Structure 1
Amino acid sequence: MQQVRGVVAKAKGEPVSIETINIPDPGPGEAVVAISACGVCHTDLHYREGGINDEFPFLLGHEAAGVVESVGEGVDSVAPGDFVVLNWRAVCGTCRACTRGEPWYCFSTFNATRKMTLEDGTELSPALGIGAFADKTLVHAGQCTKVDPSARPAAVGLLGCGVMAGLGAAINTGNVGRGKSVAVIGCGGVGAAAVAGARLAGAGTIIAVDLDPKKLEWATNLGATHTVDAGAGDVVAAIQALTGGNGADVVIDAVGRPETWKQAFYARDLAGTVVLVGVPTPDMVIPDIPLIDVFGRGGALKSSWYGDCLPSRDFPMLVDLYQQGRLDLDAFVSEEIALEDVEAAFTKMHDGDVLRSVVVLS
Structure 2
Amino acid sequence: MATAAVLTEVGSPLEVRDDVEVAPPGPGEVRVKTGASGVCHSDLSVQNGTIPLPTPIVLGHEGAGTVLEVGEGVTGVAPGDRVVLSFVPQCQECYFCKRGQGFLCEKSAMAAMGGMLDGSTRLTSQGGALHQMAMCGTYSSELIAPEISMVKIADDVPLKVAALIGCGVLTGVGAALNTADIHEGDTVAVIGCGGVGLNVIQGAKLAGAANIVAIDMFDHKLELATQFGATHCVKAGEQDATGVITGATGGRLADSVFEVIGLEQTMNQAIDLCRQGGEVVLVGVPRMDVMMHLPAAFTFLYLNKSIKGCWYGSANVNTDVPKLLGLYSDGKLMLDELISAEIDQDGINGAFEAMGTGEVARSVVVYE
TM (norm. structure 1) is 0.95
Q: List gaps (5 residues or longer) in structure 1.
A: none
Which whole-Å deviations, capped at 9, do the CAs of 1:241-265 have from their partners, x for residues lacking one? 2222111111111112122112211
In structure 2, C-alpha distance between the alignment counterparts of 1:18 and 1:259, rounded to whole Å: 36
2:15 maps to 1:9: no
Output the CA distance in 2 between the equivalents of 1:257 and 1:271: 23
User: Alignment length, in residue pairs?
Assistant: 360
Q: Secondary structure at 1:269's aligned position in 2?
A: strand
Residue pair 1:37, 1:65 contacting (<8 A) in 2 also: yes
CA distances 1:89-128 after superposition (whole Å, capped 9, x unpaired): 1112333222334323323337454523333331111112
Whether 2:328 is the aligned partner of 1:322: answer yes
Q: Distance in 1 between matches of 2:326 and 2:157?
A: 9
Alpha-carbon spacing, 1:164–1:101, altered in 2? closer, same or farther (3 Å): closer
Unaligned runs of 5+ in 2: 111-115
* 2:113 equivalent in structure 1: none
Q: 2:344 aligns with which of 326, 338, 343?
A: 338
8 Å contact kept, 1:11–1:57: yes
Letter aligned with residue 16 of structure 1: L
* Amino acid corresponding to residue 93 of structure 2 in structure 1: T
The residue aligned with 1:75 is 74
Distance (Å, rounded) in 2 between the aligned partners of 1:107 and 1:247: 37
Aligned to 2:50: 51
Q: Deviations over 1:277-335 (max 9, x none)?
A: 01111221113324233211214210100111111011111112112211110111001
Q: Which position in structure 2 is the counterpart of 1:198?
A: 204
2:51–2:287 CA contact under 8 A, matched in 1: no
How big is the shift at 1:50?
Answer: 2.9
Q: Secondary structure at the match of 2:33?
A: strand
Counterpart contact for 1:88–1:143, Cα < 8 Å: yes
Task: Give, in angstroms, the shift of residue 54 of structure 1.
Answer: 5.0
Q: How does the TM-score come out when normalised to structure 2?
A: 0.93
The whole-number CA distance in structure 1 between the counterparts of 2:22 and 2:337 is 33
Residue in 2 that maps onto 1:259? 265
Mapped pair 1:270 → 2:276 = yes
Deviations 1:209-263 (A, max 9, x none): 1111111101000001111122124323332222221111111111121221122
Contact persistence 2:101–2:314 (CA under 8 A): no
Q: Distance in 1 between matches of 2:215 and 2:54?
A: 36
Aligned equivalent of 2:134: 128
Return the alpha-carbon distance in structure 2 between the equivalents of residues 105 and 228 of structure 1.
34
What secondary structure is seen at the aligned counterpart in 1 of 2:348?
helix
**What letter corresponds to residue 272 of structure 2 in structure 1?**
Y
CA distance in 1, matches of 2:159, 2:183: 29
Q: Which moved more, 1:22-31 or 1:7-16?
A: 7-16
CA separation in 2, counterparts of 1:112 and 1:106? 12
- 1:250 and 2:217 correspond: no
Match of 2:7, as an amino acid? A
Identity %: 39
Distance 1:331 1:246, change over 3 A: same
Which residue number in structure 1 is paired with residue 96 of structure 2? 97
User: What are the superposed Cα offsets for residues 17-72 of structure 1, whole Å, 9 maximum, x if unpaired?
Assistant: 11121111111100001111001111112222233225110111111011111111
SS in 1 for 2:176: helix
Q: CA RMSD in A?
A: 1.6
Please state whether the residue corresponding to 2:160 is helix, strand or coil.
helix
Q: Give 2:276's aligned amino acid.
A: L
> Structure 1: how far apart are the matches of 2:242 and 2:142?
47
Read off the aligned partner of 1:139 and give its amino acid letter: A
Q: Does 1:358 align with 2:364?
A: yes
Task: Indicate the SS of the match to 2:20.
Answer: strand
> How far apart are the structure 2 equivalents of 1:99 and 1:116?
29
